Amino acid sequence: MPGTAQPAERGSAGLFRPQLVLAREPFGGKGTDKATRARVLIVEDEYLVALQMETELTNAGFEIVGIASSADEASALAAAHVPALAIMDIRLRGPRDGVEAALELFAKHGIRSLFVTAHYDPDTRRRAQPAEPIGWLPKPYSMPLLIAQVRAALAK
């Protein structure tokens, strides 16, 4: 059911970590006319970071189609909702990372990614190149900068 949390999962440090919701129902924010709202997928394994991104981007007028914390969730959401852009972290839950997720989204759906990560070394950037990343935003970053980067990415 959209908007409800899934059962908690035991994290690697023995702490309980909630799984993120797979899909979001569109809700308020500036530019609520669906025809003018760009659809964005958030792929981030840090729950609070993902929720903050969702809130700020929704308030800025974007439609968040969902939050994924793993490459498999990102693939399922992309197939179901075909967003215009994925905001992609590198470190994700599960065996595949954000580069692999971005490569799959681009190959299957033509969805490009804005990488938002602390892991943007030359090897990672080289691995991601076939997905034609829109850009790289190093963590930590401010929300106004993220919003500006998303707007610029969607204008390309």
Domains and CATH numbers, the chain: 39-155 (3.40.50.2300)
Report how far apart the first and last C-alpha atoms of the chain are (Å, whole number). 34
Residue 7, number of CB atoms within 10 A of its CB: 7
Comparing 31-45, 63-77, 105-119, 132-146, the range with the smallest average pLDDT is: 31-45
Specify the 3-state DSSP secondary structure of 19.
coil
What pLDDT is attached to residue 120? Answer: 84
- Say if residue 48's pLDDT is above 70: yes
What is the average per-residue pLDDT within 20-42?
59
Residue 15: per-residue pLDDT: 44
Closest CA to 141 of 112, 124, 121, 118: 118
Which amino acid type is present at position 38?
A
Give the tens place of pLDDT for each residue, 79-101.
Answer: 999 999 999 999 999 999 999 99
pLDDT digits (tens, 9 = 90+) for 14-26: 444 444 544 545 4
**Whole-structure pTM over 0.75, yes or no?**
yes
Asked if omega into 140 is within 30° of 0 (cis), the reply is yes
